[in-house]
């Protein structure tokens, strides 16, 4: 019997879900742009906000590109609010070091080939990471 392979879009969705939950736990459910902390029960308003759009696969799962962000800041950033974008840039440079924003923009334009192996490997990686976060 031949094993049916999971379609790539389903693997992308699964990786997105795992990765984004890990980001929220990593950042202790606290918005990188405004500092709002989300207690249990309010965490649905806490997003995994992409500095470079998640439509760019080269940075979609880059842990420096994605940080916990409240729904308000994430929405304002997505519509081009210069103040929020600037705050995110400053926070990235503080959190990860000088040059982070430039590195992300360079990576945005770097070649990236999405493969089944990449998705499966990262699904396993973030499944294990999420278990550690939830167990602690």
Residue 92's closest CA among 115, 124, 59?
Answer: 59
pLDDT digits (tens, 9 = 90+) for 56-67: 999 999 999 999
Domain ranges of the chain: 23-110
Q: Cβ of 124: how many Cβ atoms within 10 Å? A: 12
Can you tell me the distance from the alpha carbon of 71 to that of 48, in angstroms, rounded to the nearest whole number?
9
pLDDT digits (tens, 9 = 90+) for 11-52: 999 999 999 999 999 999 999 999 999 888 777 789 999 999
Q: Cβ of 128: how many Cβ atoms within 10 Å? A: 11
pLDDT digits (tens, 9 = 90+) for 75-124: 999 999 999 999 999 999 999 999 999 999 999 999 999 999 999 999 99
130, 17 in Cβ contact below 8 A?
Answer: no
Parallel, antiparallel, or unpaired: how do β-strands 46-50 and 66-70 relate?
antiparallel
């Amino acid at each position: 019997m031949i094993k049916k392979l999971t379609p790539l879009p389903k693997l992308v969705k699964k990786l997105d879900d795992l990765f984004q939950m890990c980001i929220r736990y990593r950042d202790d459910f606290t918005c990188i742009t405004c500092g709002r902390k989300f207690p249990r029960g309010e965490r649905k308003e806490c997003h995994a906000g992409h500095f470079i759009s998640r439509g760019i696969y080269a940075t979609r799962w880059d842990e420096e590109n994605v940080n916990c962000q409240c729904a308000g800041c994430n929405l304002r950033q997505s519509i081009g609010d210069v103040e929020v974008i600037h705050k995110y840039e400053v926070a990235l440079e503080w959190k990860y070091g000088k040059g982070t924003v430039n590195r992300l923009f360079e990576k945005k334009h770097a070649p990236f080939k999405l493969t089944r192996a990449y998705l499966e490997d990262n699904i396993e990686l973030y499944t294990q990471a999420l278990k550690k976060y939830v167990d602690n």
